[in-house]
Amino acid sequence: MQQQILQVKENVKLTDSIYRMVLVGDMSAIKNSGEFVNLEIPGYFLRRPISVCDFNANELTLIYKVVGKGTEVMSGAVAGDSYDVLLGLGNGYDTTVSGSHALLLGGGVGVPPLYNLCRRLISEGKKVTVVLGFNTANEIFYENEFNALGADVRVTTVDGSYGIKGFVTDAIADIDYTYFYTCGPEPMLKAVYRATKTSGQFSFESRMGCGFGACMGCSCKTNFGNKRICKDGPVFVKEEILW
Amino acid sequence: MVNTKVMLAGIEMDNPVIPASGTFGYGQEFAELYDINCLGTFSFKGTTSEPRFGNPTPRIAECSAGMINAVGLQNPGVDAVVSHELPEMKKFFHKPVMANVCGFSLEEYAHVCEVLDSEEQIGWFEINISCPNVHGGGMSFGTSPCAAADVVKAVKKVTTKPVIIKLSPNVTDIVSIAKACEAEGADGISMINTMLGMRIDLRTKKPIIANKMGGFSGPAIKPVALRMVYQVYEAVSVPIVGMGGLMNAEDVIEMMLAGATAVEVGTANLIDPFVCKKIVDELPAVMEKYGIKNLTDIIGGAH
Ligand SMILES: Cc1cc2nc3c(=O)[nH]c(=O)nc-3n(C[C@H](O)[C@H](O)[C@H](O)COP(=O)(O)OP(=O)(O)OC[C@H]3O[C@@H](n4cnc5c(N)ncnc54)[C@H](O)[C@@H]3O)c2cc1C
Ligand SMILES: Cc1cc2nc3c(=O)[nH]c(=O)nc-3n(C[C@H](O)[C@H](O)[C@H](O)COP(=O)(O)O)c2cc1C
Ligand code: FES
């Protein structure tokens, strides 16, 4: 983990409530897709955890939804603003176990961390199918970006206004995947847990005090004992989840 | 050259800065970030007889200038601390450490201290008396002078190491509790633990924290902590470890002026993992700025 002051390069609106922020600075602390960063928000006491959507040596992309006061402040950021950020948090996804065909299932603001993961799996020569789930057509983001990486992309909407009508789990029956990765709201993760035939990795959220393992604010029980979502997670393998 | 050394209950410390229990784990996460031997010492996570998972989540809620936690004393239990945490700690921390101990009965306090007493790494015991007494209708030991004194008695029987009693601020008269602890032989007082608080989510219209209530900490509670340390300093002669909302070297000096011999920094570690190192590094310059040569000279200076 590192503490860095990062500069905002761009902060653009993707949908009514979803924004993409690109930050520049030293990103050497970020090692893995599925990690998260913790941003200090001027005027607010606790940092805000946001997943790494994409990164390279000196750029970091975050995609966030405005849900409360902190993310509202973020949405007003302009190029040149700076943020105090803790980088390199959490374990991230393990791609070594994916086999030849990875299935990525993302719901809403659970989509962002799958982006860098998708890039990595494809660079490792694996076939990737991505299923992105949203409530309705005007909430959709990043369909084209996943396509551009070379993934096979499907989109589901709950109201059927775009793509396949239903949930992500309604769009996977015919896919011949060897492993899966998923991130999204907990009801979706539970549905994925039941609907999948292989092992896979789940990314979880929790209210956090520190984000780096010090406060025990984010603990959960697993089949392998108590774990901290921020430090031992946020990614957990199917076999350790107690559902 | 300024002198940052202080003497706490018979043990000399290079400086008075101590990361507070529950915000520093058993040191490991911070030792990966900086050499934590720069600290005076640190107080490790409140340890009980048996492993505890603690409360359901959410356990954390943000507040203006602070936070509420209801972790519920999650810890691996004293046997795992002896077999795993202390041997690990030996690899990266070479000073006497402060053992924070919690119990839900007098027997539990005594048992944990007895097991830890033979560990040479431990310099001081810090006894958290904010826990509910399961045999006393769930009333916290820290809310009555008699119950607090009983804990001191039970612990002093099983150890010769200095025993510092950590007081709860959620009481009507903290001075009487401090005096009762001193009278039973407490070697020091540490204060304050978190203040009972709550936040409510407007969307769900229910408390944010699963446990409903939790401990409020951070800079918002500093004035209360200063006032209480000031009052207790006038009433006892044992050293006080002062804490509550300290964020920087100026805060450390302010707390020592109120009467603290050493200080703990808690919540600040969670939002700035390097804060204790920064405080240790800045302390000499801030002392110079305020014309302080010997930190010991300012203890209780506001009285
Ligand atoms: C590991 C991890 C990765 C995340 N990645 C993303 C992401 O890529 N994009 C995205 O839009 N959101 C993400 N979130 C959720 C994001 O952290 C919250 O939406 C955000 O903290 C809300 O802040 P706020 O001030 O706007 O909301 P408020 O409700 O005003 O926040 C009050 C407090 O509650 C906390 N909080 C509120 N909602 C959540 C939540 N869902 N999870 C954790 N803490 C919360 C805040 O951090 C803050 O401490 C992630 C959460 C975690 C734990
Ligand atoms: C997440 C968290 C966990 C804590 N756990 C303990 C504990 O196990 N034992 C204890 O004596 N105090 C515990 N405390 C209280 C702190 O040690 C300290 O007394 C209090 O937070 C006030 O100081 P601060 O404002 O600097 O945090 C905890 C505080 C926090 C924020
Ligand atoms: S948020 Fe502090 S341990 Fe996970």
Say whether both A110 and A65 belong to one domain: no
| CATH number reported for the structural domain that contains residue A154 in this entry | 3.40.50.80
Query: Comparing C-alpha atoms, which of B270, B269, B263 is closest to residue B295?
Result: B263
- Whether residue A222 lies inside any domain: the answer is no
- Whether residue A197 lies inside any domain: the answer is yes
Could you tell me the distance, in angstroms and rounded to a whole number, from the CA of residue B56 to the centre of ligand 2?
18
- Whether residue A218 lies inside any domain: the answer is no
- Whether residue B303 lies inside any domain: the answer is no
B25 contacts chain A (CB < 8 A): yes
B131 annotated active-site = yes
Q: Whole domain around residue B223: which residue ranges?
A: 6-55+72-197+216-298
For chain A, the residues whose C-beta falls within 8 A of a C-beta of chain B are 1, 3, 40, 44-47, 86, 206-210, 212-221, 226, 231
Among the candidates A62, A89, A116, a domain finishes at A89
| CATH number reported for the structural domain that contains residue B246 in this entry | 3.20.20.70
pLDDT at B134: 74
pLDDT at B173: 96
pTM: 0.96
B62 interaction partners in chain A (CB closer than 8 Å): 44-46
B64 interaction partners in chain A (CB closer than 8 Å): 45
pLDDT at B17: 98
- Whether residue A177 lies inside any domain: the answer is yes
- Whether residue B162 lies inside any domain: the answer is yes
- Whether residue B282 lies inside any domain: the answer is yes
- Whether residue A65 lies inside any domain: the answer is yes
- Whether residue B61 lies inside any domain: the answer is no
- Whether residue B238 lies inside any domain: the answer is yes
By C-alpha distance, the chain A residue nearest B24 is A214
Say whether both A121 and A145 belong to one domain: yes
A44 interaction partners in chain B (CB closer than 8 Å): 62
Q: Where are the beta strands (DSSP E) in B129-213?
A: 163-166, 188-191, 195-197, 200-201, 206-207
Number of domains in chain B: 1
Q: How many residues does chain B have?
A: 303
Say whether both A60 and A139 belong to one domain: no
- Whether residue A60 lies inside any domain: the answer is yes
pLDDT at B132: 77
Could you tell me the distance, in angstroms and rounded to a whole number, from the CA of residue B83 to the centre of ligand 3?
24
Q: What is the mean pLDDT of residues A91-102?
A: 97
By C-alpha distance, the chain B residue nearest A205 is B58
- Whether residue B203 lies inside any domain: the answer is no
pLDDT at B1: 85
Cβ B68 vs Cβ A207: under 8 Å:
no
ipTM score here? Answer: 0.94
Number of domains in chain A: 2
Whole-number Å distance between alpha carbons of B207 and B13: 42
pLDDT at B69: 96
Q: Whole domain around residue A68: which residue ranges?
A: 2-89
Among the candidates A89, A116, A143, a domain finishes at A89
Identity of the residue in A44, A213, A221 whose CB atom sits nearest the CB atom of B29: A213
Cβ B164 vs Cβ B182: under 8 Å:
no
Whole-number Å distance between alpha carbons of A105 and A133: 8
- Whether residue B251 lies inside any domain: the answer is yes
| CATH number reported for the structural domain that contains residue A75 in this entry | 2.40.30.10
- Whether residue A235 lies inside any domain: the answer is no
**pLDDT tens by residue, A51-74:** 999 999 999 999 999 999 999 999
* Spans of chain B, pLDDT less than 70: 136-137
- Whether residue A48 lies inside any domain: the answer is yes
pLDDT at A94: 97
A64, two tokens? 């966030």
Whole-number Å distance between alpha carbons of B115 and B137: 27
The average confidence (pLDDT) of chain A is: 97
pLDDT at B268: 98
Residue A230 CB less than 6 A away from ligand 3: yes
- Among residues B102, B113, B131, B181, the one annotated as catalytic is B131
